[in-house]
Each structure stands twice: as structure tokens, then as C-alpha cells.
Amino acid sequence: MVQLLDGKALALQIKEEIANEVRQRTAEGLRAPHLAAVLVGDDGASQTYVASKEKASHEVGFTSSVYRYPANTTEEQLLDAIKFLNEDPEIDGYIVQLPLPKQINEQHIIDAISPDKDVDGFTSINVGRMILSEDAFVSATPMGICTLLKRYGIETQGKHCVVVGRSNIVGTPVANLLSRKGFDCTVTLCHSKTQNLAEITRQADILIVAIGKPEFITADMVKEGAVLVDVGIHRIPDDTKKSGYRIIGDVKHSEVDSKCSWSTPVPGGVGPLTIVSLLQNTLKANKKNIR
């Protein structure tokens, strides 16, 4: 029978561990970690994400602040804000919530973030360090997936891991991390030009799906006993819900889960671990700054 990779429960446990460490450090007179967020414009989803990061920060005893800018902010203005955050010794780490308005080049902004404060792990420097297995801030979602597999004791050594989706923030880094010493998976990375996708996914001992297409992965694409990680998040209208919508993933769980040994629910799988990874990175930055 399928067992749940319960990201929500694990996130609560790790948040408790972080909160304990913060309590210990502040009791010793050390400054609490400070996570800041930059929010440009009034995109609803971005506001929700930033609010949940703020809430999680408070839950573990961090200081948190949000720098809000209007949608017509120019790249130069935002670069000035980044410079200010880079230089503020009271801020350990910060994130720039994406997407940014069209007039701003996202890569210019990301690469202006000090690598030492880049707790999202998006700068070229941190991505490079990660690939070279150097000490780096690893981006939150791939790090969360690795934490989930590790903490649930999923055997990875020598296993065939198929990652579907090659984005810079999920598929490519998680494929890299799981192929490394320590995880030791044999990794196949698939994308929209992959031929015979189902044939490949059916070979996966561990199947990680991050394609952004609702319920794309069906039962015929999954091997019996596979470990399934569904990264996708989609809001679809649902009149039976008070909110008017429900959340589904990239996998058709109603038919796939019964074939799996382990599976992440959506919601409550990868998502909560993403925020926890950001907190872990911020604590790490704080510990480097304040010893």
C-alpha cells in the first residue's frame, strides 16, 4: 500500500527544530535570523507566497520584513533596493519574489543579490557552487525534495531517478543533487522534447515530476512500487469547496498512487518543504554572520 511522504508533518517537525535552535542562540544573546522579501507589484499569488514565508519566519522566531514596490518600478530602482539589502548588516538573507514586471530583467536582479544573502540559491554563483559540490545555498524546492527523501529514509543509492521537467528552479538542480555522492542515483532528465516519455518514466524507481501540467502523469506511465514526488501546483475551480477552488498536481493521484510505494500528496507534499528550506538557508546565513 502507498505510504505518504507527508511534507506538512515533516515541515512542522523541522520548523520546531529550527525554532529550538533560534531560542538557544537568542538566549545566548545572539541576534535572531532576519529574512527579508522584496515584492514588486500586486500579483495575488506572489502576495500569498510572501505572506506564507513571513508567517513561517515568525513561527520559528525569525525577524522578517517585506519591501514592497509598485508595479511600475524600474530596473534601476530595484537594483538600488538590492544594493541597500546587500549592505544592511541586520539582514541575513532575502528573496526577490518572482515573477517581476516585464520592464525588469529578472536575471540582472538575481545576479545583483549578494551570494551570501541569496537564500533562494538562484544566483549564478550559488548554482555554480552547488554543481561543484561546494558549500552553497541550494534553491528551496530541490533542497526540500532532497530533505523529504532523506528524512523518510528512501533508499536512493543506485536507484534510477527520472526527473520530468528541466527548469532552473526545480528539475535541473534536483537532477544534479540526486546524482551526487550521498544520494548516488542514476538520473534521467526529461523535458518537452523527450521521445517516448512514458517508456522512460516507467523505468523510474524514483519519479520526480515538475512540468506544470495538471494531472499529466497517469498510471500507465508509472512502475509498480515507484517512489513518486509531485512538485506541480495548480488551482482549479471547484464549486464544492468554500474557497471555490482546489489544488491538484502534475500527477493524476487518483489512479497513480495505488501503484506507488511512496507518494507526495498535493497539497501538503513538496510545498511545505520549500518554505522550510528557505528557513534553513536563512538560519545558515545567520550562523555564518553571527558566531
Of residues 172 and 286, the one with the C-beta less far from ligand NDP: 172
- Point out which residues bind ligand NDP (CB under 6 A): 141, 164-167, 169-171, 190-194, 197, 210-213, 231-233, 250, 270-271, 274
- Residue 228 pairs in a beta bridge with 207, 263
- Residue among 15, 117, 118, 120 flagged as catalytic: 120
Of residues 81 and 275, the one with the C-beta less far from ligand NDP: 275
Q: Is 3 a catalytic residue?
A: no
For residue 193, the minimal CB distance to ligand NDP (Å) is 5
For residue 272, the minimal CB distance to ligand NDP (Å) is 8
Of residues 207 and 211, the one with the C-beta less far from ligand NDP: 211
- Residue among 97, 205, 250, 280 flagged as catalytic: 97
For residue 139, the minimal CB distance to ligand NDP (Å) is 9
Of residues 37 and 169, the one with the C-beta less far from ligand NDP: 169
- Beta-sheet pairing, 160-164 with 206-209: parallel
Q: Is 120 a catalytic residue?
A: yes
Of residues 78 and 148, the one with the C-beta less far from ligand NDP: 148
C-alpha cell at 54: 513571513
Q: Is 53 a catalytic residue?
A: yes
Beta strands in the chain (DSSP E): 3-4, 34-40, 63-69, 93-96, 160-164, 186-190, 206-209, 227-230, 234-237, 245-248, 262-263
Any idea what DSSP says for residue 276?
H
C-alpha cell at 222: 508509472
Asked if residues 115 and 55 have their Cβ atoms less than 8 Å apart, the reply is: no
CA–CA gap between residue 77 and residue 70 (Å, rounded) = 11
For residue 151, the minimal CB distance to ligand NDP (Å) is 17
- Residue among 15, 53, 223, 252 flagged as catalytic: 53
CA–CA gap between residue 281 and residue 143 (Å, rounded) = 10
Q: Which residue is nearest to ligand NDP (CB)?
A: 167
Q: Which residues contact 95 (CB under 8 A, 6 or more apart)?
A: 35, 36, 37, 38, 53, 119, 120, 278
For residue 113, the minimal CB distance to ligand NDP (Å) is 18
Active site residues: 53, 97, 120
